């Protein structure tokens, strides 16, 4: 598979990259999954404080991983730093985010929340550039999807301008989330070709040909000689989202339903057999699914950089964090450890994983989840600051009323809780208001009716629903602008009126609760709809 972006680099990246070798592509075509597995990481010793839940160990601080001798040939030695962001949802500027516990704008107690102004891609890019200078550029920076949709600044020209800004922050690779194809696969593929970094996905196919659309993996050669093989996993959620996500009439795509374990095992084997020093998976399946993959299905992965479920995996002592998750596996006679983490959402946190590699094994690591606040202002990248300003100027030119006030809030609203949230309540109340609580009327006809012209019959809707979305920054009390409303619901989908019985409503919600609280490997997202 040709990597459309593999030969393009941003100004801040110095790591060399290698495309999938031609001989490996031929071997894949000839043997499919029939590649002999090698012995991967073997028994892992444990040092320091830990706790065990179902074979998963959450580790704290700087850790040494004692490894038994395996059968792999000796590999390179050296240090690598990995950075991760995920689920930024178009949030590239500083904005309020919610945290649990006592804070500067509330009282005391444990079950309370406070808001903090965090985020900013110029802070993130500048800090990574600073670390590269300290680490002789043995650094890689990844994004795990749900990146180019979610705010007005991302959607006003279907992410054309947003991608131009994104190209300045120094990413090395990304993978498809479940929102990237909101405007259809054709436009998404056009955006990926405009990126100066590759999109990787081993489970994202052209439905008409059955071929992979993106390279399944990429090998990076760092200045210190270490090789890092990076495999991408796309979200299978798009298979059950509205049709436009997978078929726009020009292009039809499909993602392997489930966890893509067959593809993942295949490419892990290729990289291991090829002598890669470190194997990293960038995923948009969700934290719980990613942990299940490592513990139950696919051995040999060193690092799993997760996305989709917006988990803040804080380091020890930071916001009550217990550290990165060490997944200890014993699969088909192969034993070892995979480190799994996720970096929150909305560009508000940045995960940093400093690794020491000895003979193709992680000998030691240090993990931190940085909150991107004003303490990072000293690192701001001026080129990214300029790109952010240019993006904002384009957005304001497209919509001169973007920051006009359209209402006000008596209290802050957010989407930071699982079963019910204040922003969801606000949206549902607005739906009820629009559907009759102030005397509006709806069209007659079928029992599912879009809320558009042709009003004939007054109704008074009894229940309203909105998706259990996690994106969208909290809104503060006080004036609300049009731009803030776009942040709450950038999809701009039509409202529908549905006539159902109480029994049907009960069944629907039981299904939603089941899907949200099922075994992790079967979970869609973890948040049920709000009503």
What residue ranges do the domains of the chain occupy?
A: 16-31+54-102+116-392, 403-522
529: nearest Cα among 515, 125, 318: 515
Buried b / exposed e across 112-123, counting CB within 10 Å, b at 16+? ebbbbebbbbbb
- Asked whether the predicted pLDDT for residue 129 surpasses 70, the reply is yes
Average pLDDT over residues 424-431: 84
Structure tokens at 99: 């945290």
Instruction: State residue 101's pLDDT score.
Output: 67
Q: State mean pLDDT over 230-239.
A: 92
Give the mean pLDDT of 200-218. 96
Closest among 302, 150, 145, 147 to 236, alpha carbons compared:
145
Between β-strands 50-53 and 334-342, what pairing exists: parallel, antiparallel or unpaired?
unpaired
pLDDT digits (tens, 9 = 90+) for 242-284: 899 999 999 999 998 778 889 999 999 999 999 999 999 999 9
What are the backbone dihedrals phi and psi of residue 253, each rounded to the nearest 5 degrees, phi first?
A: -125, 160
Reply yes or no on whether the pLDDT at 217 is more than 80.
yes
In percent, the amount of the chain with pLDDT more than 90 equals: 51
Predicted TM-score (pTM) above 0.75: yes
The arithmetic mean of pLDDT across residues 495-505, rounded, is 81
Residue 77: exposed, middle, or buried by beta-carbon count in 10 A (0-12, 13-18, 19+)? middle
pLDDT tens digit sequence for 302-317? 999 999 988 888 887 6
Alpha helices of 241-317 — where are they, by DSSP H? Answer: 261-273, 287-292
The pLDDT confidence band at residue 28, using thresholds 50, 70 and 90, is very low
pLDDT of res. 49: 27
Most confident of 38-42, 269-273, 470-474: 269-273
Question: CA-to-CA distance for 152 and 161, rounded, in angstroms?
Answer: 11
Q: What is the pLDDT of residue 163?
A: 98
The residue with greater pLDDT, 197 or 430, is 197
Residue with tokens 């597995």: 37
For 16-31+54-102+116-392, which CATH superfamily applies?
Metallo-dependent phosphatases (3.60.21.10)
- Comparing 237-251, 269-283, 341-355, 434-448, the range with the smallest average pLDDT is 434-448
Q: What percent of the chain lies above the pLDDT cut of 70?
A: 74
**Residue 433, SS3?**
helix
Q: Is the pLDDT of residue 231 over 70?
A: yes
Please report the pLDDT score of residue 102 as a whole number: 56
290 has pLDDT over 60: yes
pLDDT digits (tens, 9 = 90+) for 371-426: 999 999 999 999 999 999 999 999 999 999 999 999 999 988 887 777 778 888 88
- How sure is the predictor about 119, in pLDDT bands with cuts at 50, 70 and 90? very high
**DSSP of 4-72, one letter per residue?**
TTTT---TT---EEEPPPHHHHHHHHHHTT--PPPP----B---SSEEEETTEEEE-SSEE--B---SS
Q: What is the largest CA-CA distance in the chain?
A: 77
Give the mean pLDDT of 335-341: 94
Q: Phi/psi of residue 392, each to 5°?
A: -65, -40
Taking Cα atoms as reference points, which of 247, 338, 276 lies closest to residue 24? 276
Q: What digits encode the pLDDT tens for the residues 357-369?
A: 998 889 999 999 9
User: How many CB atoms neighbour CB 109 within 10 A?
Assistant: 8
Whole-number Å distance between alpha carbons of 525 and 490 = 19
The answer to whether the beta carbons of residues 312 and 369 sit under 8 Å apart is: yes
Task: Name the 3-class secondary structure at 93.
Answer: coil
CA distance 406 to 139: 45
Could you tell me if 168 and 193 are in contact, meaning their C-beta atoms sit under 8 angstroms apart? no
- Tokens representing 78? 């050296």
Q: How confident is the model at residue 99 (pLDDT cuts 50, 70, 90)?
A: confident
What rounded mean pLDDT belongs to the chain?
79
- Mean pLDDT over 350-363 rounds to 94
Label residue 329 by pLDDT band (50, 70, 90): very high
Using the predicted structure, report yes or no on whether residue 524 has a pLDDT greater than 80. no
Q: Which token pair is 217?
A: 């993996």
pLDDT tens-digit series, residues 75-88: 678 999 999 999 99
């Amino acid at each position: 598979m040709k990597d459309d972006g593999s030969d393009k680099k941003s100004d801040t990246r110095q790591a060399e990259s290698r495309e999938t070798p031609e001989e490996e592509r031929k071997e894949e075509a000839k043997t499919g999954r029939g590649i002999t597995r090698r012995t991967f990481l073997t028994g892992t010793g444990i040092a320091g404080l830990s706790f065990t839940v179902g074979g998963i160990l959450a580790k704290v601080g700087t850790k040494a991983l004692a490894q038994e001798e395996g059968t792999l040939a000796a590999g390179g030695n050296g240090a690598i730093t990995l950075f991760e962001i995920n689920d930024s949802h178009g949030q590239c500027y500083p904005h309020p985010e919610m945290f649990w516990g006592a804070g500067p704008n509330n009282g005391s107690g444990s079950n309370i929340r406070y808001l903090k102004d965090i985020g900013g891609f110029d802070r993130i890019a500048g800090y990574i550039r600073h670390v590269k200078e300290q680490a002789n550029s043995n650094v890689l920076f990844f994004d795990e999807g749900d990146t180019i949709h979610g705010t007005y600044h991302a959607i006003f020209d279907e992410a054309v301008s947003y991608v131009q800004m994104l190209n300045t922050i120094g990413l090395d690779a990304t993978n498809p989330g479940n929102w990237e194809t909101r405007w259809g696969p054709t436009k998404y593929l056009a955006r990926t070709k405009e990126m100066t970094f590759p999109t990787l996905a081993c489970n994202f196919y052209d439905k008409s040909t059955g071929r992979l659309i993106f390279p399944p993996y990429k090998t990076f050669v760092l200045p210190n000689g270490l090789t890092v093989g990076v495999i991408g996993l796309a979200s299978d959620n798009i298979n059950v989202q509205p049709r436009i996500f997978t078929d726009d009439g020009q292009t039809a795509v499909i993602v392997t339903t489930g966890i893509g374990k067959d593809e993942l095992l295949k490419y892990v084997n290729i990289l291991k057999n090829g002598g890669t020093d470190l194997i990293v998976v960038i995923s948009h399946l969700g934290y719980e699914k990613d942990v299940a993959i490592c513990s139950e299905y696919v051995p040999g992965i060193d690092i799993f950089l997760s996305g989709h479920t917006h988990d803040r995996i804080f380091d020890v002592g930071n916001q009550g964090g217990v550290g990165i998750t060490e997944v200890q596996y014993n699969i088909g006679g192969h034993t070892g450890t995979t480190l799994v983490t996720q970096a929150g959402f909305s560009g508000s946190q940045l995960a940093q994983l400093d690794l020491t590699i000895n003979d193709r094994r992680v000998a030691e690591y240090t993990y931190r989840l940085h909150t991107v606040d004003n303490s990072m202002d000293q690192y701001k990248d001026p080129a990214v600051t300029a790109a952010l300003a240019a993006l904002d100027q384009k957005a304001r030119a497209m919509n001169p009323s973007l920051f006009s006030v359209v209402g006000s809030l008596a209290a802050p609203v957010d989407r930071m809780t699982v079963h019910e949230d204040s922003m969801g309540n606000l949206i549902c109340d607005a739906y009820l208001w629009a559907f009759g609580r102030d005397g509006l009327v709806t069209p007659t006809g079928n029992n599912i009716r879009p809320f558009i012209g042709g009003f004939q019959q007054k109704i008074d809707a009894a229940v309203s629903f909105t998706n259990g979305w996690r994106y969208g920054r909290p809104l503060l009390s006080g004036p609300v602008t049009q731009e803030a409303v776009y942040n709450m619901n950038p999809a701009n989908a039509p409202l529908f009126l549905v006539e159902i019985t109480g029994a049907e409503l009960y069944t629907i919600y039981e299904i939603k609760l089941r899907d949200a609280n099922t075994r992790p490997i079967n979970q869609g997202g973890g948040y049920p709809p709000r009503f």
